[in-house]
Amino acid sequence: MLMKASSQSLTEQLAQRFAERIRSRLLAPGARLPSVRQCAQQQGVSPSTVVAAYDQLLAQGLVEARRNRGFFVREMAAVPAKYGEDASEGAAEAASARPAGAVRNVPIDATALIRGMFHAAGNKPQSSAGVFPSDWLDASFMPAAVRKVTSTRALQEFSLQYGEPLGDASLRRALSKKLATLNVHASPDNIITTVGATHALDIASRTLLRAGDHVMVEEPGWAVEFARLTHMGMRLLPVPRRADGPDLEVMARYCEVHKPKLYVSVSVLHNPTGYCLTPGSAHRVLQLANQHDFHIVEDDTYSHIAPEHATRLCALDGLQRTIHVSGFAKILAPNWRVGFLAAHPALIERLLDTKLLGTLTTPALLERAVALCMEQGQLRRHCDRIRTRLDAARSRSVKLAQQAGCSFAAEPAGLFGWVDTGVDTDALSQRMLDEGYLLAPGALFFAQRKPSTLMRINFATTQDAAFWKVFSRVRSAL
């Protein structure tokens, strides 16, 4: 709340609040600020205070005034200008080259939630969180494993040299056994460890793609993946994600018209809907891949909490056209950044070259600690406990959401819920920020940002009635 007793004037406080949100990408380029009257009512100040605050934002170059329309966050250049080239010319050239059906996402939109991982909007449980609460992951076996692998001998063995290019051999052996239980058969030599699952996705796309290539992505989908691919110069082809899998008719049309090089999928416990791929849909996707010669990157980040016998493209395909990606950030320790990918032997050397050019190596000590947790069965038992706890949290969160007047656009499953609030969640998210809550508005999950009444919630962090009480009050005021 704005404080009248503060050393700063109300105008300065209000301008600073908007400036911080614009710089941290919580207000995206092109976003419309509340009207002067709306802002005055929301913040409990006079219209003249709002006008003065907006004037300060104009002076700082953070917003622009559009006649008879209001104030908008200034747009960034659509495409970085080449050396000696006018930015507007570069943007116009890129726009004219963009084919019908391909859309461009604004990359910086996604960074708001990433920044929220490090600097929460408040000291309250955050509905937008992408991981489990820290107390859920506070397991004694993890520090014990770290202590064991950081003995003097181990430090000398692993820390004074770069280590194995593919990654720690003990972890790759453990991963090979784990993948076999998912019917994904990969030898340790066909597995590469990475600095988290996002790094694995990046290695795969940098190996298989070149700037200007078309990539099919699921929509709704994860904004960070949209932003990462767009930043690399890829042209996104959004494929609607249904309960049984991707819209196959849309995929087929894209294949005929744009000849995409890659399809990125979260087959199991899809983010944000929680959908799981059916065998029939999976077979048809693989048929399209073989017919039109594209690869598939299957992001299996949520495998640790997934239903038994869930359908995976990698299992059906035998890693012929598929690359399996996963990691341990969700289930074990977000900051350990231990991930991996598994691929066909013919691709491994190319993928490894990309890894080596980017990071040279990965942290063998932490990889050895993860391997130890797997070998001793501690990770498996930990996953069982998390699944049980999550089932209970999901049940409570669903009831609270429905009592708050929300409905679910997808059957609740996994860690995330896809919730229809009935109001514009971009506007809702700005008002909730004033209350100390960072939301994940639905617009973030579309390749081309557009208004939405949907939002993604984390079931583990929204089982508290306090959040929904604030949510209901703010939602009613919109």
237 bridge partner residues: 216
DSSP code string of 299-339: E-TTGGGSPTT---HHHHHTTSSEEEEEESTTTT-GGG--E
Which residue is listed with tokens 């990770």? 379
Domains and CATH numbers, the chain: 10-73 (1.10.10.10), 122-130+381-477 (3.90.1150.10), 141-376 (3.40.640.10)
DSSP code string of 73-99: EPPPPSSPPPTTS-HHHHHHHHHHHSP
What share of the chain in percent tops pLDDT 90? 61
What mean pLDDT value characterizes the chain? 87
Amino acid at site 368: R
Please give the helix or strand (H or E) that residue 251 lies within, else none.
helix 248-258
Strand order, beta sheet including 416-420: 407-408, 416-420, 454-458, 440-441
8 A C-beta contact, residue 121 and residue 320: no
pTM: 0.83
Strand order, beta sheet including 235-240: 191-194, 339-342, 322-327, 295-299, 262-265, 214-219, 235-240
Which residue is listed with tokens 């949510």? 471
CA torsion through residues 59, 61, 67, 71, sign: negative
Q: Write out pLDDT tens, residues 72-129.
A: 998 754 333 333 333 333 333 333 333 344 433 333 355 655 665 555 555 778 888 8
Measured distance CA(372)–CA(361) in Å, rounded: 20
Q: Write out pLDDT tens, residues 257-288.
A: 999 999 999 999 999 999 999 999 999 999 99
| Residue 442 DSSP symbol | G
340 bridge partner residues: 193, 326
194 bridge partner residues: 339
Give whole-number Cα distances, 323 to 85, 276, 290, 320, 429, in Å.
Answer: 38, 18, 14, 8, 36
| Residue 427 DSSP symbol | H
- pLDDT value, residue 76: 59
Please give the helix or strand (H or E) that residue 22 lies within, else none.
helix 10-23
Helix (H, G, I), strand (E, B) or coil at 116: helix
Would the pLDDT of 471 be above 80? yes
- pLDDT value, residue 105: 33
- pLDDT value, residue 357: 94
